Chain A
Amino acid sequence: MPTAHSGKTRRSTLAKSHSALAHHFDDLGQQYEASTLGMWAFLVTEIMFFGGLFLGYAVYRAAYLEGFIEGSQHLDAILGALMTAILLGSSLTMALSVHAAQVGHNKLLARFLLLTMLLGVAFLSIKGYEYWHKYHTHMVPGFAFHYDGLHPEIVRLFLSFYFIMTSMHALHMIIGLGLQAMLVMMAWRGRFSPEYHTPVEIIGLYWHFVDIVWIFLYPLLYLVG
Chain B
Amino acid sequence: MEGFRLFPEAASTIAGRVDGLFGFLIGVSLFFAALIFALLLVFAIRYRRRSEDEQPPQIARRDWLEATWILIPFVLVMIMFGWGAKLYFNMMNPPDGALEIYAIGKQWMWKFQHPEGPREINELHVPVGHPVKMTMTSQDVIHSFFVPAFRVKMDVVPGRFTHIWFEATKPGVYHLFCAEYCGTMHAGMRGRVIAMRPTLYEEWLRSHVSGEPMASTGESLFGRLGCPTCHRADGGAPSLVGLFGTPVRLQSGATVTADESYLRESILNPRAKIVTGYQPIMPSFQGQINAEELTQLISYIKSLGQEQTNGS
What residues make up the interface of A, taking CB atoms closer than 8 Å to B? Answer: 64-67, 150-151, 153-154
- Chain B residues whose CB sits within 8 angstroms of the CB of A65 once the complex forms: 252
With a 10 A CB-CB cut-off, give which of B251, B252, B269, B272 has the most chain A CB atoms. B272
Contact B252 A66 (CB under 8 A): yes
Which residues of chain B have C-beta atoms less than 8 A from A153's C-beta? 269
In the assembled complex, the CB of A57 is this many whole angstroms from the nearest CB of chain B, namely 17
Which chain B residues border A67 with CB–CB below 8 Å?
272
Chain B 262-294 per-residue mask, 1 if CB under 8 angstroms from chain A, else 0: 000000010110100000100000000000000
Contact A150 B280 (CB under 8 A): yes
B165 to chain A, nearest CB (A): 27
CB-CB under 8 A from B269, the residues of chain A are 153
Determine which residue in A66, A151, A153, A154 has the highest number of CB atoms from chain B within 10 A of its CB, and name it: A66
Is A154's CB under 8 angstroms from B272's CB?
yes
Contacts of A66 in B (CB 8 A): 251-252, 274
A151 to B274, CA, bound (A): 11
Residues A151 and B252 in contact, CB atoms below 8 Å apart:
no
Q: In whole angstroms, what is the CA distance A67 to B272 when docked?
A: 8
Q: Which chain A residues lie closer than 8 Å to B252 at the CB level?
A: 65-66
Q: For B251, list chain A residues within 8 Å (CB).
A: 66
Residues of the A chain whose Cβ atoms lie less than 8 Å from the Cβ of B271? 150-151
Give the residues in chain B near A150, CB-CB below 8 Å. 271, 280
Interface on B for A, CB 8 Å cutoff?
A: 251-252, 269, 271-272, 274, 280
In the bound assembly, the distance between CA atoms of A153 and B273 in angstroms comes to 13
Which residue of chain A lies nearest to B253 when distances are taken between CB atoms in the complex? A65
Closest Cβ neighbor of A153 among chain B residues: B269
What is the bound-complex CA distance between A66 and B271, given in angstroms? Answer: 10
Give, as a whole number of angstroms, the nearest-CB distance from B209 to chain A: 39
Shortest B163–chain A CB gap in Å is 21
Chain A residues touching B, majority SS: helix
Q: Are B280 and A64 in contact (CB under 8 A)?
A: no
Q: What's the least CB distance linking A154 to chain B, in Å?
A: 7
Apart from A64-B272, A150-B271, A154-B272, list 9 A-B contacts with CB within 8 A: A65-B252, A66-B251, A66-B252, A66-B274, A67-B272, A150-B280, A151-B271, A151-B272, A153-B269
Give the nearest-CB partner of A63 in chain B. B272
Q: Give the distance to chain B from A60, nearest Cβ to Cβ, in Å.
A: 11
B257 to chain A, nearest CB (A): 15
Instruction: Provide the bound-state CA to CA distance between A154 and B270, in Å.
Output: 12
The complex places the Cα of A170 from the Cα of B269 at a distance, in Å, of 34
**Nearest opposing residue in chain B for A69, CB measure:** B252
CB contacts (< 8 Å) of B274 on chain A: these are 66
A153 to B251, CA, bound (A): 19
Give the distance to chain A from B270, nearest Cβ to Cβ, in Å.
11
12 A-B residue pairs with CB within 8 Å: A64-B272, A65-B252, A66-B251, A66-B252, A66-B274, A67-B272, A150-B271, A150-B280, A151-B271, A151-B272, A153-B269, A154-B272
A95, B271: Cα distance in complex, Å: 48
Q: Give the CA-CA distance A154 to B272 in the complex, in Å.
A: 8
Nearest residue in B to A65 (C-beta to C-beta)?
B252
The 7 closest A-B CB pairs, nearest first, are A65-B252, A151-B271, A66-B252, A150-B271, A150-B280, A64-B272, A153-B269
Contacts of A64 in B (CB 8 A): 272
| Chain B proximity of A24: nearest CB distance (Å) | 35
Min CB–CB distance A204 → chain B (angstroms): 43
The distance in angstroms between the C-alpha atoms of A151 and B252, with both chains bound, is 14
- The answer for the CA separation of A46 and B293 in the assembled complex, in Å, is 47
Distance in angstroms between the alpha carbons of A49 and B251 in the assembled complex: 34
Task: Give B274's nearest chain A residue, CB to CB.
Answer: A66
Residue on B with the closest CB to A67?
A: B272
CA distance A153 to B269 in the complex (A): 9
Residue of B nearest to A66 (CB): B252
**A108 to B271 alpha-carbon distance, docked (Å):** 58
Inter-chain CA distance A67–B274, complex, in Å, is 11
A151–B272 alpha-carbon span in the complex (Å): 7
Chain A residues in 8 Å Cβ range of B280: 150
A153-B268 Cα distance, complex, nearest whole Å = 12
